Structure 1
Amino acid sequence: MTRALSAFLVLFGLIAPALAAPQNKDGDSAEAIDLLTQASKAVRRETYRGIIVYLRQGDVDTLKVVHRYYDHEEQERLISMSGQVREVIRKGDKVTSILPDHELVLVSEHPPKSMLGGMSHFSPKRLKANYQVVDLGTARTAGRDCRVIAIRPRDKFRYGYKMLIDSKTQLPLKLNLLHHGKRLEQMMFTDIAFPDHIPDSEFVPSYDVHGFRIVRHQAVHVSESASDKREEQWHATNLPPGFKLAEDGVRQLTSDASVRQMLFTDGVATVSAFIAPAGLRAPLKGATRMGAVHAYGDIVDDTQITVVGEVPAITARRIAQNLVQEKNTAKKAPAAND
């Protein structure tokens, strides 16, 4: 449910500050880049409530969102209005997801420097090498005037984006995810208001969760004991152009089993690689897809490698086929260039 809004948070929260640079010879619009920078702040700092529609593979999800930045902390509440009954409440780094039909509460906490948390991984040079930023003029959505901005990929390894940014508040109101000019997914506000204040009562759960099962997800962290073991070291070779390793962490599943998560980014798109003992879940070998999300699985000896991201299939496959364990480096040659 949160993937729709996460698209805004990731795209504008991570790329826009890094894009803040003058116009260059490749035709990037300086005004568009500046607007993206303002949008990155608005998506966190604006107070608003509205209705969001998320379209993917012919399916339509509708949800109500309430958002504010209060006492130096972001707060948000999402309520499903179609499909499965769900409610998500976020306060700072803590996210609580309530699934009343299953009497289940999922709680996750991410420290400030968790996955996707550090701007140090993103650089204007890499962004400009892989994308072109273009100002496409004006349009209206949700009854409001907007600027239309495009982020166009320079090669086959990444998607493109087209967005409408509110002219008054700079909040992104519509986002299209594109591949070869074809829309893969769309997220948009169909109704939105910007009140001066939203009370605490609007961030309280609608459901009494007494007696619900509570599942807490452990944040990904770097395990020193795992990192010290040479045989557990993994690295990537021959990555798609522009992609670099941004994070490398380990989550302990049981006393004798852990999963390593590696995050790769080109400055806009992010791809996660999961490395775990084979047999923990149903095996995945080869490619699979859900909407714009592509996954590719490979089994190496007794290890399951799974790569997932909102990227073209060729990107997920190339990363998966070029993850090597240090002790096996000599046994597995890098895959040929795609």
Structure 2
Amino acid sequence: MLNEWYMPLLAFGLAWWLTRMCCDPGSVLYFLDHPNERSLHVRPTPRTGGVGVMGGVLGAGLVLGLVRGFAPSMWAVLGGAFGLAVLNLVDDRSGLPARVRFAAQALAALVFLGLADLPGPGWGLLPAFLGLVWMANLYNFMDGSDGLAGGMAVFGFGACGLGAALGGDMTLALLCASIAAAAGGFLCFNFHPARIFMGDVGSVPLGYMAAGLGLYGWQQGLWPLWFPLAVFSPFCADATVTLLRRAWRGEKIWLPHRTHYYQRLVQLGWGHRRTALFAYGLMCACGVGALVILPFAFPVQIGVITIGCIAYCIIGVLVDQAWRRHQNGPT
């Protein structure tokens, strides 16, 4: 029997193999993403790399669940991710109405919340539900540049795995490590110049799992609620601020666009590679910083989080200023 401690390696291998298959023009999973005015790529590229990611996650996750025994809410996370992956594979191929995709996300969130015994008052289920749905969508919104979403999965779930290990929950640690490893297998083909994109089949389930496992770790007392938000904050901050700004301007927030901070960096001349490497540095800093302050008292945690928020504000202002100069042209 395959040793459970090799599950991250299994996840990496499965993801690498399946992603490579999806890069083959003869594959039935070779769905092309054609460039348009809102795209950052210039040539048609397959967008089913998420099949590799989710294949690795589900392969390793099923073995872990059977050998170690998952709590019902962990099975709900894995099952919900599988259901969302199948639905979004259909969406990547043929397109589905937004209400169908949202209904599936809402159902997955409700099933998880029904099985999870989250701490706190009953009204806390509403923000938890909104968080699950929002994370599924924001991860999808942030999947628009080579290497970005795959890198966030490596760093974000890697940090969660280390946090779970420090808390003594090796089952959750191995699952998070397997998700990070599966993203790494996909990233071999997605780092610039990308041979394949993740697509909704991978990005939406990854966002859902980030929220679901983050809440599960909180329920188990492994970390405070801020911890999963901090390790995924490069995505959370960019997507949330961009959404609020677009809503403030009266734009249709559900339509594709190119106004995320990472998109602006690419358009400002940084390109996909430099933007991804900068994001990796930020992701690594957030994950390491969150792990370092995890054992400290709450006032220390709040102080460091405040410093991090200030840093994000400074980065945002600098990008906004550079973007305005770019739009206005040379003076």
Fold-level similarity (TM above 0.5): no
Higher helix share: 2
Which structure's residues are more often strand, by fraction?
A: 1
Which fold has the larger relative contact order, with Cα–Cα distance below 8 Å and residues 6 or more apart in sequence? 2
Larger Rg: 1
Question: In which range does the TM-score fall when normalised by the shorter chain?
Answer: under 0.3
TM-score, normalization: structure 2?
A: 0.26
